[in-house]
Amino acid sequence: MLPSHHKIREVVETAQFTDELRELEPNAIRADELFEGAVWVLCRNPEYGTKTGPNVWFLPMLGGNLVLRYTFDDDHVYFLSIQLSVESGAEEE
């Protein structure tokens, strides 16, 4: 059994996240590849990203061109939103 700090959480995609991802990348296979790494990291260490507010975190992707916003609890990581970033927009909250 893994120690509690190595617990693997389940990733849950919200409807907003799914809609935004579909708009960004209509090719389903490419979309899956796009955030596969984020899933791997965040389900193991959700504090890897940057906290932007109470229980909201962000993770820059693709060299900062995309921003993934998420929250988590003891059992899950909830993908809230994925959006194109503007240079200053990724850190504005």
pLDDT at 79: 96
* pLDDT tens by residue, 21-73: 888 776 556 666 767 888 999 999 999 999 999 999 999 987 778 899 999 99
Higher pLDDT, 89 or 30: 30
* Nearest CA-CA partner of 71 in 84, 83, 53: 53
Strand residues in the chain grouped as ranges (E): 10-13, 50-53, 56-61, 66-72, 76-84
pLDDT at 90: 41
pLDDT at 36: 85
pLDDT at 31: 62
The domains located in the chain, with CATH, are 4-85 (3.30.2310.20)
pLDDT at 8: 93
Asked if residue 14 has pLDDT above 90, the reply is: yes
Between CA 52 and CA 68 the distance in angstroms is 12
Whole-model pTM over 0.85: no
